[in-house]
Amino acid sequence: MARTYLYNNHIKLGAKMVDFAGWDMPVQYTSIIEEHNNVRNNAGLFDVSHMGEIFVTGKQSLEYLQMLVPQDVAKLKNEQAVYCQMTNEKGGIVDDLIIYKLEPDNYLIVVNASRINADYDWFIEHTKGFEVKVENKSDVYSMVALQGPKSIDILEKMGIEKSKQPKSFYIMRTKLLNCDVFISRTGYTGEDGFEIIIQNEKVSELWETILEKGKEFNIMPVGLGARDTLRLEAAMSLYGHELTEETTPVEAGLTWSIDKDKKEQYIGKNVITNQLKNGTLKKLIAFKMTDRAIARSEYKIYSNNQEIGYVTSGSVAPSLGENIGLGYIKTDNNLKINDTIQLMIRNKLYNAKISAKNFIKKHNRVN
């Protein structure tokens, strides 16, 4: 199993380690619920070094990226970021990613750990005819996420005063610990915060320094367990669950991340344009359990004793004291928000209610 450069830090902190996409990662240090709440109330530090960093440079970088994603990359200002998906010919999602425009003809793309190789192959495969260079630097860089309302105070303690910190969905290149870093105002928790990309050799020192400087703000190291409950409360999709090569951004409810006026062709555009106009056969919904039960991935969803879909993510929502989930249902039943659905759990049906995709108020909105 692969280890990040923070492996020894995790062991020292007593983390419980699990396999995530082939990486030996901390699932929790103390308790998922405690870590979750601390990110909502104070701050948390995550090791997300397993994620990938791919750089696209060259004269035709923009044209090249325009061909790969439904977003309009031309609208990005220097140092601005955009959340989007890379789509295949069927409109299915190869991966969801964030594109950062560092400067003209120089883009950083952060991708999911489980998709680094698939993405890199996809990128390379489509360079044909474009004057671009694609480099996978995932093995060179590590990444930590500092998330929660106290993140801005902690980053200030690290030497970046608040007025200089990047705005939401912007990235800055600066120095921390005498080392070149990228700091972006992005995250996967629904809270304000930053993601910091640094060379592997310096990440352990960065990790320890942030935990030290963040002490007075009650920072905690946070594992992947809470990362999952935090993102689910924010109704953010997870690749491999809500997003796959068989689901389109329209079906996944990500139409806000599609530029409907984009003139340029991109892979899968025909399917996506058609779905935007005529609708889809399935759609992603959010739900809250009304019976006492917890939804889990792959449970079947029912309505009037008919199977109509399946759960993609489900858990307790520590911030709400409720049990929530996301799942796909067929669209031909005209179910809407507040309507009742059932989940088949251990051969029994339990009631749930379709909910708006805003379990919590997001503080670092991407949409």
Partner 1 sequence: MAVPENMLCSKTHEYVYEEDGYYYVGLTDYAIEQLGDIVFVEFPVVGEVYSKGEIFGTVESVKAASELYMPLTGRIIEIQEKLIENPELLNENPFEKIWLIKVEAEFFDEDRLDLIDYETYKKELE
Single-letter amino acid code for the residue at 137: K
Pairwise CA distance, residues 214 & 220, whole Å? 8
Give the binding range for partner 1 (CB under 8 A) out of 30-38, 89-97, 141-149, 357-365: 30-38
Residues 357, 360, 362, 363, Cα dihedral to 10°: 180
Q: Smallest distance, Å, CB 127 to partner 1?
A: 40
Biggest CA pair distance of the chain = 62
**Of 196 and 293, CB closest to partner 1:** 293
Nearer to partner 1, 79 or 228 (CB): 228
Place of tokens 């489509």: 126
Pairing of strands 322-330, 282-289: antiparallel
Nearer to partner 1, 20 or 100 (CB): 20
Kindly tell me which of 225 and 253 has the beta carbon lying closer to partner 1. 225
Smallest gap from residue 3 Cβ to partner 1 (A): 21
SS3 content of the chain, % helix, strand, coil (to 5): 25, 35, 40
Identify whether the C-beta of residue 189 lies closer than 8 Å to the C-beta of residue 227.
Answer: yes
Min separation Cβ 325 and partner 1, Å: 13
CB of 31 to partner 1, least distance (A): 5
With respect to partner 1, which residue has the nearer C-beta, 334 or 347? 347
Interface with partner 1 in residues 219-258 (CB under 8 A): 225, 228-229
Least distance from C-beta 188 to partner 1, angstroms? 17
User: Residues touching partner 1: how many (CB under 8 A)?
Assistant: 17
CB of 30 or CB of 106, closer to partner 1: 30
Q: Which is nearer to partner 1, 229 or 257 (CB)?
A: 229
Q: Using CA atoms, how far apart are residues 170 and 82, in angstroms rounded to an integer?
A: 9
Whether 330 and 308 have beta carbons less than 8 Å apart is answered as: yes
Give CA angle at 42 (40, 43), nearest 5°. 90
Using the contact rule CB under 8 A, the part of the chain among 31-39, 71-79, 329-337, 352-360 near partner 1 is: 31-39
Output Rg (C-alpha) for the chain, integer angstroms. 20
Contact between 66 and 73 (Cβ < 8 Å): yes
CB atoms within 10 A of CB 125: 8
Closest approach of Cβ 246 to partner 1, in Å?
A: 24
Spacing of C-alpha 33 from chain mean position: 20
Shortest separation between residue 33's beta carbon and partner 1, angstroms: 5
Nearer to partner 1, 86 or 316 (CB): 316
Residue 315 is a binding residue for partner 1 (CB under 8 A): yes
Task: Please give the single-letter amino acid code of residue 335.
Answer: L
Residues 283-312 that bind partner 1 (CB under 8 A): 292-294, 296
Residues 206-225 interacting with partner 1 (rule: CB under 8 A):
225
DSSP 73: G
Under the binding rule (CB under 8 A), the answer on residue 316 touching partner 1 is: yes
DSSP for 229-247 reads: HHHHHTT---BTTTB-TTS
Of 94 and 230, which CB lies nearer to partner 1 in the complex structure?
Answer: 230
Cα(343)–Cα(349) distance, integer angstroms = 5
The interface region with partner 1, picked from 2-10, 29-37, 101-109, 183-191 by CB under 8 A, is 29-37
- To 5 degrees, how large is the angle CA 52–CA 56–CA 58? 165
Site string for partner 1, 320-349 (x = CB under 8 A): --------------------------x---
Summarize as ranges the residues that interact with partner 1 (CB under 8 A).
16, 27-28, 31-33, 225, 228-229, 292-294, 296, 315-316, 318, 346
